[in-house]
Amino acid sequence: MHLLRRTLSILMDSFSTSTTPSILHQNLRTNSSEQPSAWPNNSTWQSLVVPCFTMTFGAISNLTALGILAKSRVRFHRRSKAPFLLLTVALLLADLAGHVILGAFTLAQRENIEDAFCQIFGASMVFFGLCPLLLGCAMAVERCVAITQPFFHSAMVTLRHMWRVVLLLSSLALVLAVLPLFAGGTYTPQSPKTWCFLRIRDPQSPADTNLALAFSVLGLSALTFSLLCNTVSALALLQARLKYRHVDAEPSVRSLRRASSTSSSSGCSLDVEMLAQLAGVTVVSCICWSPFLINILTMQFSQRSSTHENDDFMLMGVRMAAWNQILDPWMYILLRKAVVFRLCCASYAQRPTVSENRTFADAHGEAFSLQ
């Protein structure tokens, strides 16, 4: 009996010593998780680092593109090229201001967005969202007129007219942005309560629906018009290039065309460079903005209840639209004459069909001259 009691006592002591550390560890872990930490957790760091990185990267990209345009402004000294330069600078400035201001708003917002802050945030989203789209459309129209109707463009399109166009388009975007501030619709926090925009779900008045429709229709119309104008410009340049080759094949005019090819080559290469940059901006804008704009348009005609999938798709759309302000300046950084010419020279050097007696000027003219 004494031996049995001693055995039970040993078993109880071993059980208590083996379970006490695990229970204590669990209690300490529970207590430590309940206590607020003085250091930000991983989600807080991620919510701060990612917006700071994208805002800094976007600002550096836009400033780099503006610096490149400032260095190459001598190439745009001609009257026919100056309006495009003005519109390009206005577009990059709108991208830069929108990226910095909206990035600062994103960093400053908290879980519970105040109504006054939400109104300013939403108005900035609408204004800096529409401005690049409208300015990009104006650039496409200006290049289309310059390529297809050069005499009309040289006589009628001036810097003063382009200043008026910039002010008109900016005023249009500003009017649409401030309408909700004067009882013409409302700005509301959007899921996951980190940004504000027009009331695109469950509109409370016809003004909410009309403003959302106006924003999406204006944006999609600007993208469509840009695509059409760029297509017409590209076809006109291609037709001019084919005509140049056909005329140059005749021996009677070959010497005359060679005499004038040097003077026209720089102007033609600049036209190609500007059209390539504009086409890149248009393609990037269509890819970044189309999902967001089309989603807004479809939701106004089929008012469905908010679901988790719809909220995720809307959040993905606005993030893609934000990347448009980062990718726009890279079209001007990468699609420059120097970069494209180096790529063309490298491709010509690898082709075995290129004759050995071709000069540097002939290769330059073939790569860029489209007349």
Average pLDDT of the residues in 318-329: 90
Structural domain of 211: 45-368
Give the highest mean pLDDT range of 163-167, 198-202, 244-248, 348-352.
Answer: 163-167
Average pLDDT of the residues in 123-147: 94
More confident residue, 248 or 53: 53
Q: Give the torsion sign (CA, 107, 108, 113, 117).
A: negative
Average pLDDT of the residues in 98-107: 87
List beta partners, residue 187: 198
Least confident of 111-120, 174-183, 245-254, 275-284: 245-254
pLDDT at 366 over 60: no
Q: Does 28 map to a domain?
A: no
Q: Tell the burial category of 249 from Cβ atoms under 10 Å away from its Cβ (0-12, 13-18, 19+).
A: exposed
Give the whole-angstrom CA distance, residue 330 versus residue 98: 16
DSSP conformation letters of 91-103: HHHHHHHHHHHHH
Least confident of 8-12, 135-139, 330-334: 8-12
pLDDT class for 299, splitting at 50, 70, 90?
Answer: confident
Q: Does 173 map to a domain?
A: yes
Least confident of 11-25, 35-49, 243-257: 11-25
Q: Does 138 map to a domain?
A: yes
Give the whole-angstrom CA distance, residue 357 versus residue 371: 23
List beta partners, residue 198: 187
The domain tally of the chain equals: 1
pLDDT at 71: 81
Give the whole-angstrom CA distance, residue 180 versus residue 183: 5
CATH number at 76 reads 1.20.1070.10
Average pLDDT of the residues in 183-197: 83
Average pLDDT of the residues in 305-326: 81
pLDDT at 28 over 50: no
pLDDT at 332 over 50: yes
pLDDT at 190: 86
| Number of continuous H segments (helices) and E segments (strands) in the chain | 11, 2
pLDDT at 162: 93
pLDDT at 154 over 50: yes
Q: Does 166 map to a domain?
A: yes
Token reading at 23: 């229970």
Average pLDDT of the residues in 194-211: 86
Condensed to tens digits (0 to 9), the pLDDT of residues 15-24 reads: 444 443 333 3
pTM over 0.85? The answer is no
More confident residue, 256 or 191: 191
pLDDT at 302: 77
Average pLDDT of the residues in 214-219: 95
Q: Does 30 map to a domain?
A: no
Q: Tell the burial category of 132 from Cβ atoms under 10 Å away from its Cβ (0-12, 13-18, 19+).
A: buried
Residue with tokens 């593109």: 65
More confident residue, 351 or 360: 351
Q: Does 9 map to a domain?
A: no
Q: Does 99 map to a domain?
A: yes
Q: Does 14 map to a domain?
A: no
Does the N-terminal peptide bond of residue 21 adopt cis geometry, omega within 30 degrees of 0?
Answer: no
Average pLDDT of the residues in 134-154: 92
Average pLDDT of the residues in 36-62: 68
pLDDT at 325 over 70: yes
DSSP conformation letters of 34-70: HSPPSS--HHHHHHHHHHHHHHHHHHHHHHHHHHHHH
More confident residue, 254 or 223: 223
The mean pLDDT of the chain is: 76
> Cα angle vertex 344, ends 338, 349, to 5°?
125
> Cα angle vertex 200, ends 197, 204, to 5°?
105
Q: Tell the burial category of 84 from Cβ atoms under 10 Å away from its Cβ (0-12, 13-18, 19+).
A: buried
Chain-centre distance for alpha carbon 35: 42
pLDDT at 6: 54
Q: Tell me which residue of 235, 276, 258 sits closest to 366, measured CA to CA.
A: 258
Residue with tokens 């290469």: 269
The amino acid occupying position 285 is S
Average pLDDT of the residues in 77-103: 86
Average pLDDT of the residues in 21-31: 36
pLDDT at 364: 46
pLDDT at 248: 55
pLDDT at 293 over 80: yes
List beta partners, residue 189: 196
pLDDT at 363: 43
Least confident of 32-41, 220-229, 327-336: 32-41
Residue positions counted in the chain: 371
